[in-house]
Amino acid sequence: MARRKFWSYVLAAVPFLGMCFSVRLWDRVFPLVIGVPFNIAWLIAWIPLTSLCLWGVYRIWQGSESAIRRPQK
C-alpha cells in the first residue's frame, strides 16, 4: 500500500514539475504552435494533462482503499 501512495504522490507532482521547472527547456526559442506562442500553448496543454494525472492519482488511491476494505482470507 505504501508503494501505491508513493506513486500517487509522484504522479500528482508531475504537473507542477512540468509547468514550473520545464521552462529552461523551451525558453531559448520563440516557436509558434497553431499561431500561439509555445509557452502559452505549453501551459494550456497542461490543463488536460493535469486532469489526466489527477485521474491516475484517484485510480491509485481507489485501488489502495479497496485493498484495505477487502477481507483477508
DSSP track, the chain: -HHHHHHHHHHHHHHHHHHHS-HHHHSS---EETTEEHHHHHHHHHHHHHHHHHHHHHHHHHHHHHHHHSPP-
Higher pLDDT, 1 or 20: 20
R_g of the chain, CA atoms, integer Å: 17
Over residues 34-68, the pLDDT tens digits come to 888 888 888 889 999 999 999 999 998 887 666 56
pTM: 0.69
Q: What's the rounded mean pLDDT across residues 2-23?
A: 85
Residue 50's pLDDT is 93
